Amino acid sequence: MNKLITSLAIAATCVGLLSGCAGKSASSTDLIERTAPITMNSVAFTDYNLKRTWSRGFGQLEDGERYRLSLVQHGQRPTATGTTEVYVVLRNHTDYDYRIEARTQFFDQDGVPTDVKPTWQRSTIPANSIATYRELSTSTQPLQYRVEVRELN
């Protein structure tokens, strides 16, 4: 009888813990970047784990952002040949070198994709440091851009 009561108590505890874990699903995080309309001249972290904002929940003592990487600045400038250079400065908040991939999609002034299909470029951001990702367009016309960043697996 004691074994049965002990087993039921353990099962009830496990169910309680599992239901608490289920409460910490993707819907409990702030998914602004994942659900917002795509904007031009922007940088998006397409890997969910690189930057997220938590609302208070199971196992969480306070609200707030948790970063592995953050965006320091980004922009575009003309090159000597008349093409466009896009740059993104990223900061690594971890104690280890962080490997990422980034790609740039260029758009004309009407929002239509231009150039060739974007390819992922690998980069390593040193521990507790910054690094710059750069990409050049192949066109001399005025362009807009969108950079995507993800963790390298």
pLDDT tens track for 115-127: 778 999 999 999 9
Residue 26: count other Cβ atoms within 10 Å of its Cβ. Answer: 9
Whether the CB-CB separation of 105 and 146 falls below 8 Å is answered with yes
pLDDT of 141 > 70? The answer is yes
Q: Give CA separation, 60 vs 24, 56, 63, in Å.
A: 9, 6, 7
Amino acid at residue number 130 = I
Distance CA 120, CA 148 (A): 9
Listed by start position, the domains of the chain span 34-149
pLDDT digits (tens, 9 = 90+) for 46-92: 887 776 555 555 444 455 666 788 899 999 999 999 999 999 999 99
Pick the CATH number of 34-149 from 2.60.40.3230, 3.40.50.300, 3.30.1130.10, 3.80.30.20: 2.60.40.3230
Between 124 and 11, name the one with better pLDDT: 124
Going by C-beta distance under 8 Å and a sequence separation of 6 or more, which residues neighbour residue 56? 62, 63
Over residues 22-51, the pLDDT tens digits come to 333 444 445 565 677 889 999 998 887 776
Residue 123, pLDDT score:
95
User: What's the rounded Cα separation, in Å, for the pair 43 and 23?
Assistant: 30
